Amino acid sequence: MTRVLVIGFVLLIVYVFPSMAEPPAFGSMSYVQCAGDSIDIGFFSDPVFVDFDGDGLKDLIVGQYFDEAVSNYGKMRFYKNIGTSADPSFDSWIYIQADGADIECSAG
């Protein structure tokens, strides 16, 4: 069984460590990619994998503390898994919304 450890870091965001044995022994680190680029959301990202859209594949949900391009705070990104459970893949993301508006929440 493949397991991953996902950690958000300041300015680097998300790492995946494929496990290689029980108890957990981690292989080399790699960045989670989206459309060929490393996902970099910045600090307070708190990434989690959960089947957000109910298709049986775990998606990536990541907090976004600050988006410098648009100067907004506290949004959540949804990366739909278009790969498999063992080899997730992401090609785009959207902000999670409620009632037609991006959900916003503060850090902490």
Nearer to Ca ion, 7 or 61 (CB): 61
Binding of Ca ion by 59 (CB under 5 A): yes
| Pick from 50, 71, 72, 54: nearest CA to 62 | 50
Binding of Ca ion by 51 (CB under 5 A): yes
Which class for 13: exposed (0-12), middle (13-18), buried (19 or more C-beta within 10 A)? buried
CA end-to-end span of the chain: 34
Single out the residue of 6, 7, 57, 61 in contact with Ca ion (rule: CB under 5 A): 57
Question: Which of these ranges, 8-16, 19-27, 35-43, 54-62, lies near Ca ion under the rule CB under 5 A?
Answer: 54-62
- Which residues sit at the interface with Ca ion, rule CB under 5 A? 51, 53, 55, 57, 59
